[in-house]
Structure 1
């Protein structure tokens, strides 16, 4: 019997005003795992009503009281590892190690947000008037609209709401249609159990065909004062346009076309392990996944042979099996999209080193290509699947040129045993994040996270997240009466 979930508005589980529901289908089995309420614009208004009403009291709540809620929520989430593994396997095909990593990092995001609540905020300014005191004070916006994706659902569901709430805002979150429980309702469950007041966090799920109008209605509501979105560049452009039209600040964390650069002084075996993790963790469905492995020509033969063999041996299939590395993609259509990228590249001259062929339902085999030409769609398009391209380079200049040959700029890994060499290359790569002697997939809750170019703007993480979801007010205090010219 499928799980049935409703909207979460004003601290209560409520059906959509229309009574409609949407099926939440397992990509591995094709069966309906759950049904969720399918909201309409009128439900969006109800959710914003609740968030707007809850804002004054939440913003005024003592910081230590707010911090206690976040710390309790982190502990509660830590205890739900097995439940999250079950939900993620059914909703998005997530493997068990990936699910438990989601729990760990999401709980730490909550702890970092708790620390930020009581951290110093604002500045004391110099004033030109004698005896005056100037203050720069950070204050919450009000209601924040948040959009959470399916691929790292618990991490990104928590990240979508943690900093806005910690800054004193209230939130209406629209989770992905592909994982509405893991990246929305589960997060609300944990925070509700931790004592979050009614209306501070509201969750609006929807039918897939209604996604655009729900997003538009949410951003257009004049009581919504800021927006955050994590997802594809294509949809992020639309969200950014809506926010700009209504003069609302936005944080957009979008797609990547990330490179892992293996310099000539790298340890080959370490490079193989690092690159393999970067490409194939969560079947490549991470915005930070390594689409392109750039290898110095002196190491190319050895690296390619070892990397291809390792990729070919990765266990694939049932996401609930503890040894599975390559689980199903989010759906059969996603797997067919990846297969289409491979077919197009091969038709234009690329060579398949391992993998390729037709997917088994939503499971696409780990695939490694080489000699992909610039007119292939894969050359510029984010793979977002268990697929990568190996390219070689002769010198650092060429490596940097290849790494920067993309509209995106999210993250990069540089494998080297020489930190000075790695840092020199890192400073020339145009990405928001770069890791020297590590691969491209890394996330820490206290670090500034975000990209440049078509990978978006704004930053999540630590004090940067608080700054993104609060505004600066200038307040002055005159300690003596001023003299005026008239």
Structure 2
């Protein structure tokens, strides 16, 4: 991948115009610590303006044909792929994801736009038999209305398109608030939307350093009919409570604490490879990456040694270097949490097989811990860093109980070659996503979302489209 200089657009998209603001805030490189851009800092005035534009645009956008929406989204998809190198470099610069991994994210992000461009033409209604000869009964699906979406910093492209794709396909307008750590990718995606011919007000991007003030305006306005949020469980609960006053439709993709169960019949080499892929991508900063690795006792020592060897061999460095596999953590707060989890585990008796230390800047060495117990912080809190705690178990029942012993239920994984065990365990794990001998199960056409305190609602596939539609019943008297 060739690295080139990028000139960032630092304005917000309100209506169909790029808008500057009196105040701005800095976006910092997690790698260098330097400010790479000063971005428009939107407040209540811009929020209200965006709502008016979204409401106005919705009157027209909802009446466009599915084929018109699909054609426009396909143009957007082509432009995203055209500029995939620039988008990947932007992701690497603003949030530290290795550029080769960021390129995979951009293609994943584009796949949502492509999928929902096709799904726009598959919003079907139904006819219902009537008990009366003079009546015809129909159920049709229509867009819920203007949407407010809040996306996280760790997937600044894919989390945007996973929400916007189905919303636009359904006929909704969308106001996006990207994370303040990584807004530049969202701005670039909005530029490409306009280049594709996106109508004014259909997609808007409001960057801000004060998400509370901006979100307060969105949540209070009853014309915003849906809120979709990806982030922490704590913030998700606040937004869910706020949505009650105007009874907005709500989708929440919240925290996780994913277990990875490795049974004694596993292909050891492949299982280690898969756990590394699941745990250490994006330096462990993904909501579905494994946080607890449960290994059956008979293979635990061999597995742990191989996992430590693999983790120690990961290349840590500049995210713009195509050979880098582990970049920096996104900010100092994230680094401190990782350090605290490892220090707590060590103090309570865990052994460090590799890593276990900050290595300068926002970097933390890929780490494998053994001797991990349930009373350690790393077993109850989402670490969001490159640390793999290994816990042993004896029986299938014990493994299932331990895996489910959490308030979260987003993703879980298991490795086994026993078909009966695979079915039993997959059915009993209390999670919305199961990776069975599959460390990276997410794909555009499948449902993504959790249970328990990991949220509700689904993104991806036709399930994601349903989140932006409501059912209208029409009863027709035939006279």
TM-score range relative to shorter protein? over 0.9
Q: Which segment drifts farther, 261-270 or 126-135?
A: 126-135
Structure 1: unaligned runs, 5 residues or longer = 481-486
| Alignment of 1:283 onto 2:283 | yes
Alpha-carbon displacement from aligned partner over 1:416-460 (angstroms, at most 9, x marks no partner): 122332121110100001021122x32111111100011110001
Alpha-carbon displacement from aligned partner over 1:61-99 (angstroms, at most 9, x marks no partner): 111111001111111111112101221111000111221
Moved over 3 A (4+): 1-4
- SS of the residue corresponding to residue 31 of structure 2 reads coil
Q: Which residue of 1 aligns with 2:447?
A: 448
Q: Which residue of 1 aligns with 2:19?
A: 14
- Aligned partners of 2:304 and 2:370 also within 8 Å: no
1-structure distance, mates of 2:32, 2:426: 43
> RMSD across aligned C-alpha pairs, in angstroms?
1.3
CA shift for structure 1 position 465: 1.3
1-structure distance, mates of 2:395, 2:253: 31
Q: Matches of residues 235-254 of structure 1 in structure 2 within 5 Å?
A: 235-254=235-254
Q: Matches of residues 78-89 of structure 1 in structure 2 within 5 Å?
A: 78-89=81-92
Q: Which residue of 2 aligns with 1:474?
A: 473
| Alignment of 1:414 onto 2:417 | no
Q: Matches of residues 61-76 of structure 1 in structure 2 within 5 Å?
A: 61-76=64-79
1-structure distance, mates of 2:132, 2:265: 59
1-structure distance, mates of 2:388, 2:200: 46
Q: Matches of residues 376-395 of structure 1 in structure 2 within 5 Å?
A: 376-395=376-395
Q: Which segment drifts farther, 351-360 or 110-119?
A: 351-360
CA shift for structure 1 position 170: 0.4
TM-score (norm 2): 0.96
2-structure distance, mates of 1:340, 1:245: 39
- Aligned partners of 1:4 and 1:35 also within 8 Å: no
Change beyond 3 A, Cα 1:317–1:143: same
Q: Which segment drifts farther, 125-134 or 212-221?
A: 125-134
Q: Which residue of 2 aligns with 1:297?
A: 297
CA shift for structure 1 position 395: 1.0
1-structure distance, mates of 2:246, 2:340: 38
CA shift for structure 1 position 4: 4.9
Q: Which segment drifts farther, 190-199 or 273-282?
A: 190-199
Q: Matches of residues 87-106 of structure 1 in structure 2 within 5 Å?
A: 87-106=90-109
Report how many aligned residue pairs link the two structures.
Answer: 474
- SS of the residue corresponding to residue 251 of structure 1 reads strand
Q: Which residue of 2 aligns with 1:259?
A: 259
Structure 2: unaligned runs, 5 residues or longer = 1-5
Q: Matches of residues 22-33 of structure 1 in structure 2 within 5 Å?
A: 22-33=25-36
1-structure distance, mates of 2:215, 2:452: 23
CA shift for structure 1 position 479: 1.7
2-structure distance, mates of 1:198, 1:21: 24
Find 2:124's aligned residue among 121, 126, 143.
Answer: 121
| Alignment of 1:178 onto 2:177 | no
1-structure distance, mates of 2:68, 2:171: 12
2-structure distance, mates of 1:231, 1:433: 17
2-structure distance, mates of 1:229, 1:71: 25
Change beyond 3 A, Cα 1:233–1:456: same
Alpha-carbon displacement from aligned partner over 1:317-365 (angstroms, at most 9, x marks no partner): 1111111111011113311221111111211222212111234111111
- SS of the residue corresponding to residue 224 of structure 1 reads coil
2-structure distance, mates of 1:239, 1:325: 35
Change beyond 3 A, Cα 1:419–1:193: farther
Alpha-carbon displacement from aligned partner over 1:193-232 (angstroms, at most 9, x marks no partner): 111111101111101xx12111111121121000100112
- Aligned partners of 1:147 and 1:160 also within 8 Å: no
Q: Which residue of 2 aligns with 1:5?
A: 10
- Aligned partners of 1:147 and 1:174 also within 8 Å: yes
Alpha-carbon displacement from aligned partner over 1:117-162 (angstroms, at most 9, x marks no partner): 0014222112232232211111111110001111011000111211
1-structure distance, mates of 2:275, 2:446: 22
Q: Which segment drifts farther, 308-317 or 349-358?
A: 349-358
1-structure distance, mates of 2:27, 2:243: 29
1-structure distance, mates of 2:139, 2:244: 25
- SS of the residue corresponding to residue 298 of structure 2 reads coil
TM-score (norm 1): 0.95
- SS of the residue corresponding to residue 154 of structure 2 reads coil
- Aligned partners of 2:97 and 2:326 also within 8 Å: no
- SS of the residue corresponding to residue 127 of structure 1 reads coil
- SS of the residue corresponding to residue 397 of structure 2 reads helix
Q: Which residue of 2 aligns with 1:132?
A: 135
Q: Which residue of 1 aligns with 2:330?
A: 330
Q: Which segment drifts farther, 291-300 or 369-378?
A: 369-378
- Aligned partners of 1:263 and 1:415 also within 8 Å: yes
1-structure distance, mates of 2:393, 2:406: 17
- SS of the residue corresponding to residue 139 of structure 1 reads strand
| Alignment of 1:56 onto 2:55 | no
2-structure distance, mates of 1:386, 1:20: 35
